[in-house]
Structure 1
């Protein structure tokens, strides 16, 4: 078989991830390769750590990417702090709460869960009551649940976790870079992000940050190997302490040695992905965090206005909505998959279905990172209306685009008034 050059179709990606990658990030990925201990490369590593601290809104020493998709970062944090028998509390309000539960159980944790209906989130007092009742070592919480389009408030949980000596770990994969998250102010002990969502970088890295409370747990799990100093011909890697953590690749004690000034070799860094991460972070800081949060809110509002004007129903409690994902109930009698297929085949637009009890009942539209643009929102609304009409759905024709344009027009008037 003769293979041709790779030529992927152009898509408008409006899923909750992966999303469209900023062209500047793609250009950065073509930068020539450097050796992982070249001073020019280690300087890039240092710059990435500095930029991550700003975006995470933290002064933590440790802020670096784990090589692998966002799940690798989640597992690295959890497997590095959990020992068999440790109590872990996981509030579940969608699919990814179950993922946290599974990962913790694989490392021998005694997992306790509380659950609420999909489409809802917890009152923080419910979680606080569970913390005081269960007395876990770890509270692991999903911040933005893309399966339901809901966002869990977490700003009050860190204070209670400090009082009860609980580690507060947050999965912010769907929110970092699109929603305001204050790691230090909210007393988050460890936070995991992903590159493929609001950061608009290809999937392949999981930026994490953690504080001295987590580092203390990691340090206590080390077992120092005896007698190494007498064997000068041993490899430098054996100078490190050995850990009880089952995973070698995801062991934070080893990863932080790699990202420290010692640069102890642990793995070969994903060079081009680090270039991509650096450029993606630079673009975010160039835009400014507040401006970026405002942009995500604006396009979310325009999309929601268009959906409602079309006569479609949004899924979930509006007060719990995740700003970067909008969930829409599939109209009665409409085949959800043929709608998605027609959007992709005829318009090159991809939207997402859902999971578990919501599969076949809702569509999920992401407004994240570089995909979160006016032309994408307007194109998606126009195409969705056309496809639904072809499917015989009852929609208010012509109203969706006008409602979205009203949002954009009014936003421009507000900006103009503020300038004056």
Structure 2
């Protein structure tokens, strides 16, 4: 379903987040992917080789490619999630490298919230640890459609099939309790390059794909919601020049569904209906728009529409509500979330003020136990919270639509983002 304008330049993009405990080899894995896909500049590689030699390493330490950023993080610069880009002839990739420490749960939430796929690394010598379960749970909470468990450092356990099977079985049974629709387990060695870009001869017992092959071929087109039309208006375009007087367009990013000229649409919250007369892009008009395209929609009728309004279908509209029931990940270290707290909520292109009406329970990520006696949520804690907003929001369940089902909570005094929420 590509439009005539988009077709030639359009290349599939896969966003994935890496997660794992400290020293599980995330930096080495990312370095290896960049190296094996020839996504490095020669001077980058030369610098890494020089540092490796100076440190007396017997190999080129590819982890150094991302450790430059780690040093920046330790100096207190907020590159909480480091993003890396690479491409193969089949696909473009964006990697969100999220820190492994337990105190960085919020960074993991940031990196995974937009990901199509999550890579969870496990050290073959240690097996599953608390962090592995925590990361898997967060990925299922954030509705990351595809999970890949990479059993790393297989070279340090003599490529043992028995070790691999034990970890794979344990993780699969834990994932069964979660909402993990697509799980793949791959034994790798990021340091040596086993099963990264190509199949390894050291593990003839493994019959699945290499990691890169899986990343290139995992099917993500059907993850996009093409049923529910949701177009949050970000900006109203009215040219200021005197010779263009009748142009009025509504710019934004398609959250879900497919928009075409001629379609009947409903504008919320006003409830007015119209038809789409044209859809414009920077490259000219197109025949259809779908997520995650940024477009300008023009309507046949003059309707009063402003930023924060939503264009949808008359028979398929989001819920208009002032009561939000949501799972919250609390991200503020200075103060906990308490009932009665007042905040600002940013949902799609709309911002409203809100008060915390209730905390139903706090969730223990490791045991999935619900503590219904909890009175507050501290840093990195997750719980089910009810908000009441000053103005109605146009929402869907997060499980149905990650864009219209997700929001952030902002402390109005400091203007800091204090939580991420997923509407239940």
Q: TM-score range by the shorter chain?
A: under 0.3
Higher helix share: 1
Query: Which structure dedicates a bigger proportion of its chain to strand?
Result: 2
> TM-score w.r.t. structure 2 length?
0.22
* Structure with larger RCO (C-alpha < 8 A, sep 6+): 1
Using structure 1 for the length normalisation, give the TM-score. 0.22
